[in-house]
């Protein structure tokens, strides 16, 4: 897909631009956007709207051909809702509708003249970002495992965004940033959608090495012997039932000043989660290939970081393995010793993500991080609490952690990749008590996503930390089954904001 920015003046107007399609907006109440009014010299557009052929509801569309006074072959009217200025939610619905129409259109190019500078609580850069991601998301396909590819319409391959001359520079920068983000999200989706017999821990390690070569990242891959030397007994306990070797991946992008403390992203990478001896129900178990979406998110974020050459020190850590049942698998009732020295009674082998993450969270102390954010498809309880709309955000309640939480929440709001802050309080730690070890790996009933976060919190007291539970947002089920690429947008906005603050 080719994106560009276009501005107009008295000689070069939207009405006389040569294009396969020009897109303009319509508001509820039969109102035309400024761009729609500018090209409607014949009154045909106003007449079509007046007839009721398009309501103006956000995302509604009407395609007109050979409109008098317009050089473009087609005019696509798209509903922007009833608010003025337009809400970002309605703008997003409109852009998704445009992207869907463009994907099937016979035109080779198109000009989108929606009110990029007229969206409530948003900048031109943010609306351009929304536009690019909408188009890229619509264009995304995962069919590499099919022997016969599904035919895909050619669609519009060249898209120009019409903006005011004063906004052109910011819009061009946003296009570049948005494409980097889209490429990162596509990698995250691809890794999530790959079957678990292909996307193994070794595959993730190979992907990390290839990306390190492409973008000049530092990379280190630790194998079982090295993990044993580090005394990662908790992580290694999860791998005991699988023949696939575990991998511990470290990526380093040192784009900031040498002495600046890095931001560390930690991803859970269970490439298939059977539940182990505490076997999951068979129905829906195929979706447990998505239990590595935290790892995929870290790799996707690094793909975007590398393309942007982000001026910030960022380290990615991925603990990846399979959780399988066998004669050598960890049993309920086993007690393991974590890298931190704390002992854990494994009451349920299906609560394996926290066993993997706790050693990774101990490992990252060596980097003396400015902040650590772990990303994990950790608990079904988070889906019960928040559904598929918001990622669960957990962190301690003090000034430093409140600031980190606010940064992440703001990044989610700006990108539409939203999160909701959940509590961590000392009372929840009582649910993790064990008669035989320092703690149990599951809590007593109630607040399952919170007790999981409280478990992780015990291993993060040397630095500022936040936990993102993406069990409800990392993938979709049903007919739309597939990885979503979340929360790469949230993380990238968070990191870019940090980079700007450091600058």
What is the per-residue pLDDT for 230?
98
Residue 133, pLDDT above cutoff 70: yes
CA torsion sign for 296, 297, 303, 309 is negative
DSSP 8-class letter at 29 = T
Cross-strand pairs, 422: 394
CA torsion sign for 371, 372, 377, 383 is negative
Please list the residue range(s) of the chain that carry CATH number 3.40.630.10.
Answer: 182-502
d(CA 78, CA 66): 17
- What is the mean predicted confidence (pLDDT) over 375-390? 97
Q: Name every residue whose Cβ is closer than 8 Å to that of residue 426 and which is 6 or more positions away in sequence.
A: none
Fold of 182-502: Aminopeptidase (3.40.630)
Fold of 2-164: 3.40.220
Return the structure tokens found at 360: 């990774």
Confidence of residue 86 (pLDDT cuts 50, 70, 90): very high
Residue 501, pLDDT above cutoff 80: yes
Q: What is the CA radius of gyration of the chain?
A: 25
- What is the mean predicted confidence (pLDDT) over 201-206? 98
More confident residue, 32 or 11: 32
What is the per-residue pLDDT for 262?
98
The catalytic residues are: 280, 354
Q: Name every residue whose Cβ is closer than 8 Å to that of residue 49 and which is 6 or more positions away in sequence.
A: 26, 30, 32, 56, 77
Q: For 400-439, what is each residue's pLDDT tens digit?
A: 999 999 999 999 999 999 999 999 999 999 999 999 999 9
**HEC per residue, 52-86:** CCCCCCCCCEEEEECCCCCCCCEEEEEECCCCCCE
Looking at the chain, the whole-number percentage of residues with pLDDT higher than 70 is 99
Most distant CA pair in the chain, distance: 82
Please list the residue range(s) of the chain that carry CATH number 3.40.220.10.
Answer: 2-164
Out of 52-56, 65-69, 147-151, pick the least confident.
147-151
What is the per-residue pLDDT for 9?
84
Residue 199, pLDDT above cutoff 90: yes
User: What is the pLDDT of the chain when averaged over all its residues?
Assistant: 96
d(CA 287, CA 359): 25
d(CA 97, CA 191): 27
Q: For 332-341, what is each residue's pLDDT tens digit?
A: 999 999 999 9
What is the per-residue pLDDT for 144?
87
CA distances from 175 to 5, 291, 325, 464 (A): 8, 31, 47, 33
Q: For 142-174, what is each residue's pLDDT tens digit?
A: 988 998 887 776 789 999 999 999 999 999 999
Confidence of residue 375 (pLDDT cuts 50, 70, 90): very high
Q: For 273-327, what is each residue's pLDDT tens digit?
A: 999 999 999 999 999 999 999 999 999 999 999 999 999 999 999 999 999 999 9
d(CA 387, CA 99): 26
Q: For 428-447, what is each residue's pLDDT tens digit?
A: 999 999 999 999 999 999 99
Per the listing, tokens 């017999």 go with 197
Torsion angles phi and psi, residue 273, rounded to 5: -115, 95
- Own/partner long-range contacts of 332-337 (Cβ < 8 Å, ≥24 apart): 332/277, 332/278, 334/237, 335/436, 335/437, 336/233, 336/234, 336/237, 337/231, 337/233, 337/234
What is the per-residue pLDDT for 153?
67
């Amino acid at each position: 897909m080719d994106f560009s920015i276009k501005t107009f003046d008295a000689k070069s107007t939207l009405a006389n631009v040569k294009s396969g399609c020009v897109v303009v907006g319509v508001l509820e109440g039969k109102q035309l956007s400024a761009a729609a009014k500018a090209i409607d010299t014949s009154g045909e557009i106003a007449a079509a709207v007046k007839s009721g052929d398009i309501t103006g509801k956000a995302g509604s569309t009407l395609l007109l051909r050979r409109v008098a006074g317009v050089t473009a072959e087609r005019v696509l009217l798209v509903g922007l809702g009833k608010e003025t200025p337009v809400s970002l939610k309605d703008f997003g619905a409109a852009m998704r509708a445009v992207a869907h129409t463009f994907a099937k259109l016979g035109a080779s190019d198109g000009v989108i003249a929606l009110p990029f500078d007229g969206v409530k609580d948003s900048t031109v850069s943010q609306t351009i970002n929304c536009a690019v991601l909408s188009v890229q998301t619509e264009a995304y396909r995962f069919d590499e495992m099919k022997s016969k590819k599904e035919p895909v319409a050619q669609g519009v391959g060249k898209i120009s965004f019409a903006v005011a001359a004063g906004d052109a520079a910011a819009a061009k920068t946003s296009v570049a940033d948005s494409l980097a983000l889209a490429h990162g999200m596509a990698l995250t989706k691809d890794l999530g959608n790959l079957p678990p017999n292909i996307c193994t821990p070794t595959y993730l390690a190979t992907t990390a090495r290839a990306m390190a070569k492409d973008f000049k990242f530092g990379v280190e891959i630790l194998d079982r012997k090295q993990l044993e030397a580090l005394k990662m007994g908790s992580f290694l306990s999860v791998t005991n039932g699988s023949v696939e070797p575990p991998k511990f991946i470290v990526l380093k992008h040192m784009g900031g000043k040498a002495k600046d403390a890095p931001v560390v992203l930690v991803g859970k990478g269970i490439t298939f989660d059977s539940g182990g001896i505490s076997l999951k129900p068979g129905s829906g178990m195929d979706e447990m290939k998505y239990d590595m979406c935290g790892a995929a998110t870290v790799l996707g974020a690094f793909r975007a970081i590398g393309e942007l050459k982000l001026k910030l020190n960022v380290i990615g850590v991925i603990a990846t393995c399979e959780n399988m049942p066998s004669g050598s698998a960890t049993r309920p009732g086993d007690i393991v010793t974590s890298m931190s020295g704390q002992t854990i009674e494994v009451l349920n082998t299906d609560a394996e993500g926290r066993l993997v993450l706790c050693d990774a969270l101990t490992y990252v102390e060596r980097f003396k991080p400015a902040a650590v954010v772990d990303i994990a498809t950790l608990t079904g309880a988070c889906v019960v609490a928040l559904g598929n709309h918001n990622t669960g955000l957990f962190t301690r309640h003090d000034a430093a952690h409140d600031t980190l939480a606010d940064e992440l929440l703001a990044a989610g709001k700006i990108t539409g990749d939203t999160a909701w802050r959940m509590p961590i309080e000392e009372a929840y730690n009582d649910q993790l008590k064990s008669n035989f070890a320092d703690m149990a790996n599951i809590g007593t009933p109630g607040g399952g996503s919170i007790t999981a976060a409280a478990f992780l919190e015990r291993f993060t007291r040397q630095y500022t930390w936040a936990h993102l539970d993406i069990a409800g947002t990392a993938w979709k089920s049903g007919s739309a089954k597939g990885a979503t690429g979340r929360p790469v947008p949230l993380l990238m906005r968070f990191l870019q904001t940090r980079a700007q603050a450091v600058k």
